[in-house]
Amino acid sequence: MARVRSLRSPTLTLSDAVAAYWSSGAQRHLALNTQRAYRHAHHALLDTLGPDQPITVLSGAALREVLEERWAGASQASWNAQVTALRSLITYSQRHGWLTETSASLEPRRQSGGGTRAIPSDDLAALWARPDISLRDRTLWRMLYDTAARADEVLALDVEDLDFSAQRAAAPGRAGHQTIVWGRDTADLLGRHLAGRRRGPLFLTHRRPNVLPADLDRLSPTGRARLSYHRAWVIFHQVSGGWTLHQLRQSAIAHLGEGGV
């Protein structure tokens, strides 16, 4: 980890500010894919302007120079994702008094009516932080975003399918079984969600179903059933204000692409 010379020094460099941002945990609430995208944008900033430039070089004109050089031909969504990543560094620097409120400003492009179906990273971060979401639903949503897997594939998983040590599972896909891999955030949620349970459908209904499901989709002796795609879709659509489960997959893929993956 880079050593920051002095967080109050008037000669604080861009490299110092970026190192301080990442060592502070300011991005801890972001999903791993989003963190990778933020790192990519911050590295592009250092490469374009120079790591030894003073932090005060971050004017609106300088930031637009970085964006135009690196992402001039990018889509509106990709451009705006880089703006969000750079603004996170600006906000952090302003909070520590390294930049004044008006020394650096950057505005996103206006989205067209038929824009991307990817959910903005900040909106996802706000969703993850909501206290009113059940642990089951939070785990499912984070897993869908973390793995970029299809919802029907993840909902078809049984606990026995999971390799917890490798943080992966063999999911039944449209072209046969495929391996899906998740990160630390999903792993932590899975441990809490299962609470020691070692068999049966990974995601269950909260109550016994009115219609008795097949044995493979039921957890005896509780009688709770595998969570259906329709029910999972309805819950996410209602809680999120109109998003769909498939948008979590699209968002993961889009954010990975914006991060240079």
Q: Which residues contact 123 (CB under 8 A, 6 or more apart)?
A: none
Please give the model's pTM, rounded to 2 decimal places. Answer: 0.55
Query: Residue 105 domain-assigned?
Result: no
Q: 127 lies in which domain range?
A: 121-258
Is 6 domain-assigned? no
Of residues 88, 79, 8, 4, the one with CA closest to residue 42: 88
Does residue 62 fall inside a structural domain? yes
Same domain, 159 and 35: no
On whether both 151 and 27 belong to a single domain, the answer is no
Based on the domain organization, do 252 and 133 belong to the same domain?
A: yes
* Contact (CB, 8 A) for 55 and 93: yes
Say if residue 91 is in the same domain as residue 146.
Answer: no
Looking at the fold, whether 196 and 150 belong to one and the same domain comes out as: yes
In order along its 261 residues, the chain shows pLDDT tens digits of 444 444 555 578 999 999 999 998 877 766 676 778 888 889 989 988 899 999 888 887 888 888 888 777 766 767 777 888 888 888 888 888 888 755 556 666 665 444 447 888 888 988 998 889 999 999 999 999 999 998 988 998 999 999 999 999 987 765 566 788 999 999 999 999 999 888 888 998 887 655 444 455 555 556 678 888 888 998 998 898 888 898 998 898 888 877 666
Same domain, yes or no: 252 and 199? yes
